[in-house]
Amino acid sequence: MRRAAVLGTGQTHHRTRRTDVSMAGLCREAIDRALEDAATDWSQIDAVVLGKAPDLFEGVMMPELFLAEAIGAAGRPLLRVHTAGSVGGATANVATSLIRAGVHRRVLVVAFEKQSESNAMWALSIQPPFSAPIGAGAGGYFAPHIRAYIRRCSAPEHIGALVAVKDRRNGALNPYAHLRQPDITLESVRSSAMLWDPIRYDETCPSSDGACAVVLGDQAAAEASDRQVAWIRATAMRTEPTFFAGKDHVHPRAGAEAARALWDAAGIADPLDEVDVAELYVPFSWFEPMWLENLGFAGPGHGWKLTEAGETRIGGRLPVNPSGGVLCSNPIGASGLLRFAEAAMQVMGRAGGHQVAGARTAVGHAYGGGSQFFSLWVVAAEPDRPAGQR
């Protein structure tokens, strides 16, 4: 299989309302930064892959059509990807497959959401025919799964607050983050309003306007770059229905199988020992320990122990979301691609104030829907595993 690499990344400043730009302007802000970071221009882009969450989130159907010219897709192949909240990760993986298959040499990946122009809570509460009614938005849907995790694993009630404090303080190091709270404390999080038991106000993600873009290239393009690139060692995607007999909402089968496929493809035997940074899709703070277990970084019931021991902080054994993650910026369509881009930035040494020292291998993770869509990639500073490494 041909090699693929991240040549450059770009993202917008994420805010509650970006009234200064249109959807097209929002995308171009990220794209222009990605092209500059990759030291390339429009003439070298062969195709564009765009990702966005459900069209109801902005109330604009098929926005890729009116955005085509602004995102550089006029006269080029354009592909739209949609896998609910995981779409940013799925978009990166689809684009990677185009490079690896030899279809294109350089592909521009872009994902966005402008939630201020609609109402995601309303969009998530509609009742399609023959489906279970959900009238409480994402938080109300996932809160029972978090309660199930707490009961199953006997997790202390303060774990969610620990994650929130860590990620919001990390976000203060990231100039693009929506929420930047260097002075947040465990006490302030635990005293914030309860929204959906056990999820408190300060343990939930914001609603953001924002976009992210990534330039991918083949081996020749990567080797021609005079800057460090992030080699894509492996990708994986798995899906499962929202509901089925025996579905485990705490430990989704699709997520676990995607992780096993990823580690096998990347030649990683012990993720906790061999991965330097993890950018995980954590929209509610309790999902950090849940995903640590689901992805194989910790055994059942031990994810919260890694968090409590401080091992997921910057400087810990496995820094999780040094960028601040989804708890700090959540333009839904772009949130997964942000995780992938931030992982690449770490191994390229271009993460700025939230750079993890010595990061050589990183993971990007995204999930969406009712914990039914999962996308992952492993990126590294070298195209192959160093000799002697397991």
Mean predicted lDDT score pLDDT of the chain: 94
The confidence score (pLDDT) of residue 140 equals 85
In this prediction, residue 174 carries a pLDDT of: 98
Give the pLDDT score at 59.
80
pLDDT tens profile 211-222? 999 999 999 999
pLDDT number for residue 139:
86
> What integer is the mean pLDDT of 160-164?
98
pLDDT for the residue numbered 102: 97
Question: In the predicted model, what is the mean pLDDT of residues 53-81?
Answer: 91
Please check the confidence at residue 232 and state whether its pLDDT lies above 80. yes
**Can you tell me the mean pLDDT for 276-303?**
98
Cα–Cα distances (Å) from 24 to 11, 117, 131, 208, 339, in that order, read 14, 13, 34, 16, 22
User: In the prediction, which pLDDT does 273 show?
Assistant: 98
- Dist CA 199 CA 205 (whole Å): 11
Write a three-state SS string for the chain: CCCEEEEEEEECCCECCCCCCCHHHHHHHHHHHHHHHCCCCHHHCCEEEEEECCHHHCCCCCHHHHHCCCCCCCCCCEEEECECECHHHHHHHHHHHHHHCCCCCEEEEEEEEEHHHCCHHHHCCCCCCCCCCCCCHHHHHHHHHHHHHHHHHCCCCCHHHHHHHHHHHHHCCCCCCCCCCCCCCHHHHHCCCEEECCEEHHHECCCCEEEEEEEEEEHHHHHHCCCCCEEEEEEEEEECCCCCCCCCCCCCHHHHHHHHHHHHHHCCCCHHHHCCEEECCCCECCHHHHHHHHCCCCCCCCHHHHHHCCCCCCCCCCCECCCCCCCCCCCHHHHHHHHHHHHHHHHHCCCHHHCCCCCCEEEEEEEECCCCEEEEEEEECCCCCCCCCC
Render the burial of 212-223: b for 16+ CB within 10 Å, e for the rest. Answer: bbbbbbbbebbe
**pLDDT band, very low/low/confident/very high, at 136 (cuts 50, 70, 90):** low
- Spatial distance between the Cα atoms of 369 and 58, rounded to a whole number of angstroms: 17
pLDDT at residue 390 tops 50: no
C-alpha angle 252-242-288 in degrees, rounded to nearest 5: 40
* pLDDT per position as a tens digit, 78-87: 999 999 999 9
Q: What is the pLDDT of residue 328?
A: 98
CA dihedral of residues 5, 8, 14, 17 (deg, nearest 10): -100
Q: Is the pLDDT of residue 192 over 50?
A: yes
Note the pLDDT tens digit of each residue in 143-157.
Answer: 999 999 999 999 999
Q: Give CA angle at 167 (164, 169), nearest 5°.
A: 105
Tokens of residue 189, six digits: 């999080």
- The region of weakest confidence among 72-81, 118-127, 243-252 is 118-127
Q: How confident is the model at residue 56 (pLDDT cuts 50, 70, 90)?
A: confident
Asked if residue 316 has pLDDT above 80, the reply is yes
CA–CA gap between residue 45 and residue 327 (Å, rounded): 32
Q: How many residues are there in the chain?
A: 390
pLDDT band at 388 (very low <50, low <70, confident <90, very high): very low
Q: What is the pLDDT of residues 234-256, one digit of tens each?
A: 999 999 998 899 999 999 999 99
Token pair listed for 144: 């029972």
Q: Which architecture, in CATH terms, is 4-120+206-380?
A: 3-Layer(aba) Sandwich (3.40)
Instruction: Say if residue 125's pLDDT is above 70.
Output: no
Could you state, in order of their start, the residue ranges of all structural domains in the chain?
A: 4-120+206-380
* Rounded Cα gap, residues 293 and 365, in angstroms: 13
